[in-house]
Amino acid sequence: MANVLIVYATKEGQTAKIARHIAQTLGAAGHKAELLDADHPTRQLVVEQFQFAIIGGPIHAGGYPRSIARFVRKNRAFLERVGSAFFSVGLAIESHNSDGRAQTLPLVEKFLRETGWQPGRIELIAGALLYSKYNPLMRLMMRHIAAKEGGDTDTSRDYEYTDFAAVERFALECVTRATPSEVESHSSPVFEQAHS
């Protein structure tokens, strides 16, 4: 059994939903998982109590939330000592007109360069198009982007693209792969892609 820390930031709530699903998946498998909203931490964490960490954030305006970057920088030694994984949530993964993976990976790599972090596993997860949660200007902008990428443009409803079965596989593989030899390795991280 592993004690796993799951740190996330969210904008419209999809990344939080994914983080909760990861925690539920690990809990059902007999692990202990604790969630931390990086934007609204409710208490001081003692990171030494955890054996693994999973960090996740959504892509907005070409980057990830500052709160995630701050957490990673502050706790980088801990993350590299115990082993860690990163999940990126974005709509580009669902693009019908371009290679969403190729669009997303440079953003991931920039984030890792800026924080100096080397997670052992990286997962690219499709998010959601939540028209009902956007203000009028954002709704118009997201509709334009969706149309350009061959996506859903009916703004009267929301669209969820997250493949939760793939999220479950990611969560369980993270914990089962977290062996001491892999944690100490300085090899390149394993990139995976979850999509619906």
Please report the pLDDT score of residue 183 as a whole number: 36
Instruction: Give Cα 26 to chain centroid, integer Å.
Output: 16
Domain count, the chain: 2
pLDDT tens for each residue of 82-107: 989 999 999 888 777 778 788 899 99
* Shared-domain flag, residues 138 and 65: no
* Shared-domain flag, residues 107 and 155: no
The C-alpha atoms of residue 196 and residue 176 are separated, in whole angstroms, by 24
Least confident residue range of 3-12, 41-50, 66-75, 139-148: 41-50
| 7 within domain boundaries | yes
* Shared-domain flag, residues 66 and 143: no
* Shared-domain flag, residues 154 and 82: no
* Shared-domain flag, residues 103 and 169: yes
* Shared-domain flag, residues 134 and 101: no
Residue 86 near residue 119, CB atoms below 8 Å: yes
Please report the pLDDT score of residue 178 as a whole number: 59
The C-alpha atoms of residue 6 and residue 20 are separated, in whole angstroms, by 9
* Shared-domain flag, residues 150 and 103: no
Cβ-in-10-Å burial (0-12, 13-18, 19+) of 146 comes to: buried
Q: Where residue 105 sits, what CATH number does that domain have?
A: 3.40.50.360
Residue 79 has pLDDT above 80, yes or no: yes
Residue of higher predicted confidence among 194 and 101? 101
Which pLDDT band holds residue 172 (cuts at 50, 70, 90)? Answer: very high
| 187 within domain boundaries | no
Which pLDDT band holds residue 148 (cuts at 50, 70, 90)? Answer: confident
* Shared-domain flag, residues 71 and 22: yes
Residue of higher predicted confidence among 176 and 86? 86
Instruction: Indicate the pTM of the whole model.
Output: 0.86
* Shared-domain flag, residues 18 and 103: yes
* Shared-domain flag, residues 94 and 152: no
Strands, E, within the chain: which ranges? 3-8, 32-37, 52-58, 84-90, 121-126, 128-129, 159-160, 190-194
Q: Among 121, 118, 125, which Cα is nearest to 160's?
A: 125
Mean pLDDT of 11-36: 95
Residue 190 has pLDDT above 60, yes or no: no
The C-alpha atoms of residue 58 and residue 35 are separated, in whole angstroms, by 16
* Shared-domain flag, residues 35 and 85: yes
The distance between the two most distant Cα atoms of the chain, rounded to a whole number of Å, is: 50
Residue 34 near residue 50, CB atoms below 8 Å: yes
Which pLDDT band holds residue 145 (cuts at 50, 70, 90)? Answer: confident
Which pLDDT band holds residue 48 (cuts at 50, 70, 90)? Answer: confident
Residue 169 has pLDDT above 80, yes or no: yes
Which pLDDT band holds residue 55 (cuts at 50, 70, 90)? Answer: very high
Helices (H), 37-163: 66-74, 76-82, 100-115, 136-148
* Shared-domain flag, residues 157 and 172: no
Residue 191 has pLDDT above 80, yes or no: no
Please report the pLDDT score of residue 179 as a whole number: 40
Structural domain boundaries enclosing 74: 3-127+163-181
